[in-house]
Amino acid sequence: MPTTEQNAPIEVPRGLKGVVVTDTSIGDVRGLEGFYHYREYSAVELAERRTFEDVWHLMFHGALPGPAERAEFTARTAALRRLPADVIDALPAIARSTALSGPLSGLRTALSLAGASAGFRPLYDIDGPARAADALAACAAVPTLVTALHRLGRGLEPVSPRDDLPHAANYLYMLTGEEPDPASARAVEQYLISTVDHGFNASTFTARVIASTGADLAACLVGAIGALSGPLHGGAPSRALDTLDAIGSPDRIDDWLRERILAGDRIMGFGHPVYRTEDPRSRLLKGIARGFGGDLVDFAVQVEARAEAILAELKPGRELHINVEFFAGVVMELCGLPREMFTPTFAVARVVGWSANILEQAEDSKIIRPLARYAGPPPPRPVPEG
C-alpha cells in the first residue's frame, strides 16, 4: 500500500478511476445517468440547437452569446484562421516527414511551430486576457493546420480559409476544396459540438497537468494531442468503421462478433470507461446518420443491435453499449471525410475544450504533483563497486 510523505496509507485505484483531482465549472459527465453537459447546458441539446461558435463562446466566456456577441465572436475567430508565412512555408516538410503517421502527428509539430511563431509565452508569465487570446488563436488555427497537412500529404495544395463560412463549413471547405452541402456541414458541426469536452479524459487531464507547470498554451495542446493519438482514446472512429468493413455483410455479423468476443478481442466502438448506459453522443450521432439513410447506416444499426445482444449473452452483468466512435465514423464517412482525418477532426473540436480547461487550470498556481507507489526491491541496497 502506498504512503504519503508522512507515511499515512493511501489508496491508489488503477488509472486513478474515481479520483477527484480538482473542481471545474466547465462541464461534467454523469456516467450512471448517460448525461453530460457544458457549463449548465446539456451538450446534446447544444448540438441540436446551437452553432459551434456559440458553444466555443460558452466554453471560453461562460455564457451563450446573444446575436451581437455571436456576430462579433464569429468574425473574430474567422480572422484568426490564416497562418503566418513562416508556418505555411514549413508545412510541406512537416507533411513529408509525417506521411506515414498522418495529419495528427504532423499537427503536434505544426502547432508547436505556430505557437512559437505567434510568440506564445508561458501561462505563468501572462495575464488572463493574454492567455485567452493565445487560446483563441490556437483553436482557430488547428483546422487550417490539419487540412493543409492532409492535402499536402496527398500532393494537393492547401486551401485558404474563407471568412464568410461558419467554422464547420469552412473546415470541410479547406479539406475538400469545395463548399459543402448544408446537410453535411450541419452534421459535422453537430459532431464537433458533441465532442468539444468530456470530463477529465486522458488528453484533457494531460493538458491540465502541463498547464499547471505554467508552460505556454501550445505546449499544453501538443501534450493533449499526444494523448489523443492513442487508439484507446481518440483513435477509434476509423477503427470502428473498419469493424463494419471486416464483418462485410449481415449474414456474417453473429459469427464474426462471437468469434472476436470469445477470443477476448475488443470490439472497437463498444464500451466506455465512464458510461454504464448508452453513450448520449452515440444516440445523437445515430439520429444524424439515420437522417442521411442508406446501406451503410442500415448495416451499422444491425451490427449495433446484434453486438449488444451477443455481448449481453456472453458477458452477462456488464453494460456494454456503443460509444461515440461507432456512429461518429459512419457520419464522417457519409459527409466525405477520409478515415485518416477522423481523429484529427475530433481534435478540431476538442482543442476548444482543452483550451477552456487550460485557461481554468492556469488560474490555480499549484502544480499537479501526485505520488507513485514504489513496487521494486526494498531499499536501501548497497551499491556494488564498479
Q: Are residues 172 and 189 both part of a single domain?
A: yes
CB 305 within 8 A of CB 322: no
Q: Which three cell numbers stand for residue 8?
A: 499515512
In a domain, residue 2? The reply is no
For 243-302, what is each residue's pLDDT tens digit? Answer: 889 999 999 999 999 998 888 887 776 766 665 667 888 889 999 999 999 999 999 999
Q: Does residue 257 fall inside a structural domain?
A: yes
Residues 221, 167 share a domain? yes
- Give the per-residue pLDDT at 242: 85
Based on the fold, state whether residues 173 and 209 are members of the same structural domain.
yes
Q: Is residue 370 part of a domain?
A: no
Do residues 190 and 321 share a domain? Answer: no
**Residue 346 shares a structural domain with residue 199:** yes
- Provide DSSP, 240-299: HHHHHHHH-SGGGHHHHHHHHHHTT---TTB--SS-SS--HHHHHHHHHHHHH-SHHHHH
Q: The domain that contains 173 carries what CATH number? A: 1.10.580.10
| Nearest Cα residue to 344 out of 213, 209, 186, 237 | 237
Flag whether 267 is in a domain.
Answer: yes
Whether 107 and 247 map to the same domain: the answer is no
- Report the C-alpha gap between 99 and 220 in whole angstroms: 24
**Largest CA-CA distance found in the chain, in angstroms, rounded:** 75
Residue 9 DSSP label: B
- With respect to residue 108, please indicate whether it lies within any of the assigned structural domains: yes
Whether 95 is covered by a domain: the verdict is: yes
Say if residues 104 and 343 touch (Cβ distance below 8 Å). Answer: yes
Q: How far apart are CA 325 and CA 233, in angstroms?
A: 10
CA distance 142 to 225: 11
Angle value at C-alpha 12, between 10 and 14, nearest 5 degrees: 170
Burial (Cβ within 10 Å: 0-12, 13-18, ≥19) of residue 133: middle
What is the side-by-side order of every strand in the sheet holding 27-30? 27-30, 35-38, 41-42
Distant-in-sequence, close-in-space partners of 316: CB < 8 Å, separation ≥ 6: none
Evaluate whether residue 226 is within a structural domain.
Answer: yes
Same domain, yes or no, for 184 and 301?
no
H-assigned helices in 315-377: 324-334, 342-362
217 in Cβ contact with 139 (< 8 Å): no
For residues 146 and 276, membership in a common domain is answered with no
The pLDDT of residue 1 is: 46
| Gap between the Cα atoms of 194 and 191, Å rounded | 5
Name the residues annotated as catalytic.
272, 325
Q: The domain that contains 318 carries what CATH number?
A: 1.10.230.10
User: What is the CA angle 137-141-85, rounded to 5?
Assistant: 100
Q: Which three cell numbers stand for residue 250?
A: 449481415
Assess if residue 242 is contained within a domain.
Answer: yes
Residue 383 pLDDT: 93
Are both 88 and 184 inside the same structural domain? yes
Number of other residues whose CB lies within 10 A of the CB of residue 305: 11
**Are residues 167 and 48 both part of a single domain?**
yes
pLDDT, tens only, 147-163:
999 999 999 999 999 99
Residues in the chain: 386
Q: What share of the chain is helix, strand, coil (3-state, %, to 5)?
A: 60, 5, 35
Q: Do 298 and 220 fall within a single domain?
A: no
- Tally the domains of the chain: 2
End-to-end, the C-alpha distance of the chain in Å comes to 34
Residues of the chain where predicted confidence (pLDDT) is lower than 50 = 1-4
Q: How many whole angstroms separate alpha carbon 267 and alpha carbon 277?
A: 17
The answer to whether residues 55 and 189 belong to one domain is yes
Domain ranges, residue 253: 237-334
Task: Determine the Cα–Cα distance for residues 353 and 339; give it in Å rounded to an integer.
Answer: 23
